[in-house]
Amino acid sequence: MQTSVEKSYEEAKVLYQKHGINVDEVLEALAKIKVSVHCWQGDDVRGFLFPDQELTGGISVTGNYPGKARTPKQLQADMEKAFSLIPGKHKVNLHAIYADTNEKVDLDQLEPKHFQSWVDWAKEQGLGLDFNPTCFSHEKSSDGFTLSHPDPEIRQFWIDHCKASRKIGAYFGEQLGQTCVTNVWVPDGYKDVPADRMAPRQRLKDSLDQVFAEEIDPKYNLDAVESKVFGLGSEAYVVGSHEFYMGYGIKNDKLICLDAGHFHPTEVISNKLSSLALFTNGILLHVSRPMRWDSDHVVVMDDELLDIGRELVRNKLLDTTHIGLDFFDASINRVAAWVIGTRNTIKALMRAMLEPSEALKKAELEGDFTTRLALTEEFKSYPFGAVWDYYCAKQGVPVREEWLAEVKTYEKEVLLKRETEAAVV
């Protein structure tokens, strides 16, 4: 007997088929897309290497929702829970501060062995891993500068950390049989108007040249560089601006990371993809949601998310774009935050795949903007929800908001107990 989900799916298929959209093929393609889910939503970007270290680098997590992960095991368990509620097989994005080791090791001395438990876990779970040097939340970044630091010794420390990070990334790639993307983001910048904008950028360029000097097989590790327009404490000037990294990335064949929250409020990354794609071999995305001063709210189904999906689908950029997430909210259940943001990202891609892209392009080319607008608007109420529900059911994850009950149970049985344990310790 057909379930109601199957019945609605069959009905939806007929409607899409009228426009030449094969929904079964769409779902096959969707299942191949991997989203890199950031581990740092699970513990408010604290990591395990320096437990007493405050979060710095001009980023901030607000909220005190109970149950954050305090150990690698807890973080892995929380991510497993989240993945059990998200359709598809994906990747986990780690920062260097998430090393799992009893050794007292500083960032410049990190080695693949300090991440072995993550590799073993990823293998067991069938996940890929991505990586990031952590150029913040450390005594050597306390004045806000790392790779562009005027002190050569401090600068060297951060260069060594980034070099070590690439080797860890390559190890992930080789061990897991999936290319790791190692993304460099540094917070360097000034609160007030600088006297010299050039010198820090020259130093950053020189540091990056040293970081990337060693050739690493792109089968195992791809390097990325991430810009930002401003941070808390770097309101006037950020060394690694968009222009800086666009130039650096294109010249040196590095992936340019576009974080949706790292641009001026009226600028959108969806509008940058088609340009960057013409001059690069690939792009890294940090799908996020800026709000006021914050660049990292949980991803919702807003116009920009839909446009990012459309640009990737319509311009056939899915094979060369690495889709990562970057948000952190401590005011809601952290597992739910992952589930909401990741499901939305996948759903936005599915919605884009279910649009009559070719017909829209054709209408545009023929100057028939009436058809372009009419079709665009009508498709906003096509039954993509029925397709999404079927996809979730087929992938063995909860349909619609059913996942929320599972998160609530997990909160009661696991997350809240952590608070009692922490109070005892």
Ligand X SMILES: C[C@H](O)[C@H](O)[C@@H](O)C(=O)CO
Nearer to ligand X (CB atom), residue 40 or residue 390: 40
When CB distances are held under 5 to 8 angstroms depending on the partner's kind, the choice from Mn ion, ligand X, none that residue 132 binds is: ligand X
Residue 185 annotated among the catalytic residues of the structure: yes
The residue range among 36-44, 50-58, 318-326, 354-362 that interacts with Mn ion, by the rule CB under 5 A, is 318-326
Least distance in angstroms from the C-beta of 33 to ligand X: 21
Q: How far is the CB of 284 from Mn ion (least distance, A)?
A: 9
Asked if 286 interacts with Mn ion (CB under 5 A), we say yes
Q: Which is nearer to ligand X, 223 or 226 (CB)?
A: 226
Rounded CA separation 367/377 (Å): 17
How far is C-alpha 397 from the chain's CA centre?
21
Amino acid at 59: I
| Active-site annotation holds for 149 | no
Catalytic residue, candidates 78, 160, 294, 389: 294
Active-site residue identified among 100, 259, 311, 355:
259
212 binds, among ligand X, Mn ion, none (CB under 5 to 8 A by kind): none
Task: Count the site residues for Mn ion by CB under 5 A.
Answer: 3
Question: Which position has the token pair 């000037």?
Answer: 237
Q: Is 105 helix (H, G, I), strand (E, B) or coil?
A: coil
Catalytic site includes residue 259: yes
Active site residue 267: no
Q: Count CB-CB contacts under 10 A for residue 303.
A: 9
Phi, psi angles (nearest 5°) of residue 382: -70, 155
319 a known binding residue?
Answer: no
Is residue 355 annotated as a catalytic residue, yes or no?
no
In DSSP terms, 321 is beta-bridged to 283
296 is in an annotated binding site: yes
Spatial separation of the C-alpha atoms in residues 299 and 291, rounded to whole Å: 11
Nearest approach in angstroms of CB 58 to ligand X is 7
Residue 403: active-site member: no
Shortest Cβ 41–ligand X spacing (Å): 10
Q: Is 294 annotated as a binding residue?
A: yes
Most distant CA atoms of the chain, gap in Å: 73
The torsion defined by the Cα of 187, 312, 42 and 60, in degrees rounded to 10, comes to: 30
Residue 185 or 237 with smaller CB distance to ligand X: 185
How many C-beta neighbours within 10 Å does residue 183 have? Answer: 28
Which C-beta is closer to Mn ion: that of 148 or that of 227? 227
Q: Is 326 in the site for Mn ion (CB under 5 A)?
A: yes
Tell me whether residue 36 or residue 221 sits nearer to Mn ion (CB atom).
36
User: From CA 41, how far away is CA 49, in angstroms rounded?
Assistant: 17
SS3 56: coil
Residue linked to tokens 């009905």:
11
Selected catalytic residue, list 78, 160, 223, 296: 296
Q: What contacts 344, CB < 8 A, 6 or more positions away?
A: 299, 300, 301, 305
222 beta partners:
181
Q: Which of 259, 294, 329, 389 binds Mn ion (CB under 5 A)?
A: 259
Which entry of ligand X, Mn ion, none binds 333, CB below 5 to 8 A by partner kind? Answer: none
Active site residue 228: yes
Quote the least distance from Cβ 111 to Mn ion, whole Å: 25
Stretch that binds Mn ion, among 27-35, 86-94, 242-250, 257-265 (CB under 5 A): 257-265
Following CA atoms 300, 305, 310, 316 in sequence, which dihedral angle do they give, to the nearest 10 degrees? -110
Helix axes 384-394, 334-353, angle to 10 degrees: 120
Query: In whole angstroms, what separates CA 338 from the centre of its chain?
Result: 11
> Given the rule CB under 5 A, which residues bind Mn ion?
259, 286, 326
Binding site, annotated residues for Mn(2+): 262, 294, 296
Which positions are catalytic?
185, 226, 228, 259, 262, 286, 294, 296, 326
